[in-house]
């Protein structure tokens, strides 16, 4: 066994394009399904991780995430893969802006305020959440499910949402509060971390990047 085989793979995937992603609407906790393009993105994500044996899959209770995972599992012929469906890894709650065009919100708020709201760390949305709030609940999942698997050198598939992944990336890479606003994952994008048993990153590799900019 090589040294790398003793390490875990933690695979982060953002769900495929949803119907509201395609329209530029902030989706948040609204349960919106995938487009055909989103299903194809899920298939492509499956292809680029083929060959990695998955021991545990984690997804949210929103169908655009778990349907993406279902497509991946079907493509890779995982019938009995242990799967955790957890509301703690839902997308950010966009509160009163849910269902609104992000470009309309940008027009109403102005570019600076909009960018703070969209990508800032501790900028809450009325009746919704900040990324800091998302981070806290994602860490609950990490400590309960992901880290124990990593300690056992198991490979984990984390198929969730844009801000959920940003929150976990912040933790894994120790990104500062100010620099997290520059981190983004596109729909269908795949990041593979190789991690040692303490949860430290050994390598990071982007395996799939699409060119769709219809983000959350």
State the catalytic residues.
15, 91
> Is 64 labelled a binding residue?
yes
Q: What angle do CA 37, 39, 44 make, to 5 degrees?
A: 90
Is 27 within any annotated ligand binding site? yes
- Contact partners, residue 77, CB within 8 Å, separation at least 6: none
Is residue 178 classed exposed, middle or buried when 0-12, 13-18 and 19+ CB atoms within 10 A define those classes? exposed
Distance separating alpha carbons of residues 41 and 48, to the nearest angstrom: 11
- Residue 120 assigned to a binding site: no
90 is in an annotated binding site: no
Contact 196, 179 (CB under 8 A): no
Q: Flag whether 99 is marked binding.
A: no
Alpha helices in 84-176 (DSSP H): 102-109, 111-119, 131-141, 147-151, 162-173
- 213 marked ligand binding residue: no
109 is in an annotated binding site: no
| Annotated binding-site residue? 15 | yes
Task: Give the β-pairing of 8-14 and 190-195.
Answer: antiparallel
Tokens linked to 193: 């971390």
- Residue 19 annotated as part of some ligand binding site: yes
34 is annotated as contributing to ligand binding? no
Pairing label, strands 156-160, 190-195: unpaired
Q: Which of 18, 76, 19, 20 is nearest to 43 (CA)?
A: 76
Cβ neighbours of 210 (radius 10 Å):
18
Binding residue per annotation — 187? no
Q: d(Cα 187, Cα 19) in Å, to the nearest integer?
A: 12
| Residue 28 among known ligand-binding residues | yes
Is 17 annotated among the ligand-binding residues? yes
Residues making up the binding site for substrate: 14-21, 27-28, 64, 91-94, 102, 118-119, 162-163
């Amino acid at each position: 066994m090589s040294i790398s085989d003793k390490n875990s793979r933690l695979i982060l995937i953002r769900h495929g394009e949803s119907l509201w992603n395609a329209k530029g609407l902030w989706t948040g906790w609204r349960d919106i399904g995938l487009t055909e393009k989103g299903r194809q993105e899920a298939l492509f994500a499956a292809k680029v991780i083929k060959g990695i044996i998955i021991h545990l899959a984690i997804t949210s209770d929103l169908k655009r995430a778990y349907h993406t995972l279902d497509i991946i599992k079907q493509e890779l012929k995982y019938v009995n893969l242990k799967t955790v469906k957890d509301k703690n890894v839902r997308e950010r709650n966009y509160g009163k802006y849910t269902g609104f065009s992000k470009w309309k919100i940008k027009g109403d708020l102005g570019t600076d305020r909009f960018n703070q709201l969209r990508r800032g760390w501790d900028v809450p949305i009325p009746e919704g959440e900040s990324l800091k709030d998302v981070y806290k609940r994602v860490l609950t999942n990490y400590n309960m499910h992901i880290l124990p698997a990593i300690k056992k050198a198991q490979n984990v598939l984390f198929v969730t949402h844009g801000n959920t992944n940003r929150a976990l990336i912040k933790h894994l890479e120790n990104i500062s509060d100010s620099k997290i606003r520059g981190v983004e994952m596109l729909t269908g994008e795949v990041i593979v971390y190789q991690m040692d048993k303490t949860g430290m990153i050994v390598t990071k590799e982007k395996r799939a990047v699409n060119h769709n900019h219809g983000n959350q």
